[in-house]
Structure 1
């Protein structure tokens, strides 16, 4: 006799499992703990088998009967319902494991240890905000170029064109990783070249007029803030490293007797050791500073605690106080040095190496940190001397370096 909804609902547990039959091989299994499971007993190729159809009440009596009929149709077509269910489950798992988000996170975990923390945080943040909500659950091998473009258009529509280009680049890296690991056949991001407008490159505010640079250096010399900020401001023009590299500098990285600062790869944007030759002026400033902060880890400790470096906005805030808001930022020292050193005739490759700009060949970058080092040492001393003359108010400075 077929079951009723009321019988299923009121079925009580006993000290042994109970089977309440609904006919056609379908029955409700009531366990001693009160749990109720739908089961279907059937024969395939002369062998008796059992198929789980779900748990009551999540699967109602009507649902269980519908699943029984689907299984009977498979049997009528000489297919094993149990084998079909297993194959479907495996296919679902494969889809999840090969989703864009799963592959992207796997790619990220492979590469993040070789990136600077700030870079890795930006990469995963872009993917989580701008990619995963739209294509994260999609099988990576099925994502099309139009689908990818629609996702990038959403980023572009909020005015974040540069971010859209970076998301495009990161997605391409994920697709290429999927191809290499056998989970995709091609990279649809390559079909989108030219689909987005070129990014609007906004250069950091800087100063390249020698007279104006002299005024800036004299303003810095008169800065009356904390000692960490004063010394960082004095060194920033001479060393022209990235602001994050300067503020996180550690005393263990310096060899003042050798007049050299070696920034470890883990703190560099391109993950390669970087050597900064120190001019006599820079060494003198650092020796002064060592008497103040040398007992701690950081060269420029935070004003609140010596266990942390100064904050990332300290230099810019100080420049604002000096009257340069909107006219100059800490990163501008790099463009200032690059522009004038090129004008003065220094080797462009030596300048680029000293700026630690991106090396297309990552392996080459890892081993060529000392490239042009003798010339870079001469250049850094020349640059510090040049800045001294500008600060002193020199009227005429030769554009070309002397032999």
Structure 2
């Protein structure tokens, strides 16, 4: 039997590479020629002699080595191989280190970041970091139950951020499904929370949908006495019904007067990152009224980058509040009309009053296609129909503008 002093004084003869000092129970201290000392336990499994490395001396003292031997012996008595069990335990520790919710979420985010838009990618991670990582980020995926996940979601909901809570449940579900696919967990507790949070009441953007009220709006635009650029921005919002961001950030390089169209680059459209990089530009045919509006703006801002530059600096486009503020000055409050409402106005009135094919309008609205054709659908097939529609819509708005005003 060894003693602590014997372990301390043990050395390897100069004529040998190593020497072994037995403690009993097949535990021994092996001393190498460079004076390094290591503990080993010798055992037999399946008729084959093996040895288990216990640690280095003096980091592992004699008493600790004996305790490790006794634990290994217990494992052997169950019929398991202590060496294999240790490897399995180490693998579990390594796996646990990369199966926490935060680590898997960040891994998933890094994977999807290549295809998500920058805005969605930033929002997805920011909401996780603010609301989920502090509470469940350090927990292994497999230990997170529906009740555990519900707690931080309830905290968000309790702040009146119901829509955020619902989004976070969806984001968490993405992480768990990725965890299942990569072998880090076997269950998605987020799916069990469907219905556990308050429903999100979606409020549509206010929009003028009645033709007579649309006539009032067009007359108000015609009579607008504010800045000329703001008036033209209002008019083009009605004529083109593109997203407000594409109107206010329109660049002169997009405007093709010869072709009577605006060509919005794919990178400037509301699309996935993949579609922004590889997608086709969005074509907006121009009716004569829209061409006339842009020619008026060409005189004002044609030497700069933007059709509607900021008043403070021409290096930036018009503020995103400009059109909405102008609508308020014209007497349309935020329950009646918004900059985004021009899109709904055009779609609704054209279908109801002009009987335009909704598919043609959807193409012009640049709404993503669903179904088997998806984005592979050839948009040029509807180019002429869209051009005819834009002329029809511009002429109809003129008719509404010239019609009899609504009586209050």
TM, length-normalised to structure 1: 0.74
Match runs of 1:362-401 below 5 Å: 364-365=374-375, 367-370=377-380, 372-394=382-404
In structure 2, what is the Cα distance between the partners aligned to 1:390 and 1:53?
93
> Which residue of 1 is the match for residue 103 of structure 2?
102
CA contact (8 A) 1:51 1:81 kept: no
CA contact (8 A) 1:71 1:81 kept: no
> Which residue of 2 is the match for residue 172 of structure 1?
173
Report the CA distance shift for 1:87/1:194 in structure 2 as closer, same or farther (over 3 A): same
CA contact (8 A) 2:41 2:69 kept: no
Residue among 324, 331, 334 paired with 2:340: 331
Deviations 1:291-349 (A, max 9, x none): 33333333322222222222322222222233323232111111111221121211122
> Which residue of 1 is the match for residue 41 of structure 2?
44
> Which residue of 1 is the match for residue 71 of structure 2?
74
Report the CA distance shift for 1:147/1:50 in structure 2 as closer, same or farther (over 3 A): closer
In structure 2, what is the Cα distance between the partners aligned to 1:54 and 1:382?
90
Residue among 329, 332, 338 paired with 1:321: 329
RMSD over equivalenced CA pairs, Å: 3.8
CA contact (8 A) 1:41 1:48 kept: no
Q: In structure 2, the residue corresponding to 1:105 is in which secondary structure?
A: helix
Report the CA distance shift for 1:94/1:281 in structure 2 as closer, same or farther (over 3 A): same
CA contact (8 A) 2:38 2:57 kept: no
Q: In structure 2, the residue corresponding to 1:44 is in which secondary structure?
A: strand
Match runs of 1:267-306 below 5 Å: 267-271=268-272, 272=275, 273=280, 274-306=282-314
In structure 2, what is the Cα distance between the partners aligned to 1:291 and 1:52?
84
- Paired residues in the alignment total 358
Q: In structure 2, the residue corresponding to 1:325 is in which secondary structure?
A: coil
Deviations 1:254-274 (A, max 9, x none): 323222223333333333543
Report the CA distance shift for 1:255/1:135 in structure 2 as closer, same or farther (over 3 A): farther
In structure 2, what is the Cα distance between the partners aligned to 1:386 and 1:122?
40
> Which residue of 1 is the match for residue 222 of structure 2?
221
How far 1:394 moved relative to its partner?
Answer: 4.8
How far 1:220 moved relative to its partner?
Answer: 2.5
CA contact (8 A) 2:255 2:262 kept: yes
Q: In structure 1, the residue corresponding to 2:121 is in which secondary structure?
A: helix
> Which residue of 2 is the match for residue 343 of structure 1?
352
Report the CA distance shift for 1:50/1:174 in structure 2 as closer, same or farther (over 3 A): closer
Moved more, 312-321 or 173-182: 173-182
In structure 2, what is the Cα distance between the partners aligned to 1:113 and 1:363?
23
TM, length-normalised to structure 2: 0.73
Report the CA distance shift for 1:377/1:89 in structure 2 as closer, same or farther (over 3 A): same
CA contact (8 A) 2:287 2:390 kept: yes
Structure 2: state its 5+ residue gaps: 6-26, 30-35, 43-49
Q: In structure 1, the residue corresponding to 2:356 is in which secondary structure?
A: coil
In structure 1, what is the Cα distance between the partners aligned to 2:382 and 2:367?
14
Moved more, 107-116 or 39-48: 39-48
How far 1:182 moved relative to its partner?
Answer: 3.6
CA contact (8 A) 2:28 2:41 kept: no
How far 1:388 moved relative to its partner?
Answer: 1.6
CA contact (8 A) 2:263 2:283 kept: yes
Highest Rg: 1 or 2? 2
> Which residue of 2 is the match for residue 211 of structure 1?
212
> Which residue of 2 is the match for residue 15 of structure 1?
none
Deviations 1:65-94 (A, max 9, x none): 997786465355478999988765553442
Report the CA distance shift for 1:278/1:119 in structure 2 as closer, same or farther (over 3 A): farther
Report the CA distance shift for 1:228/1:98 in structure 2 as closer, same or farther (over 3 A): farther
Structure 1: state its 5+ residue gaps: 4-23, 27-38, 56-62, 397-403
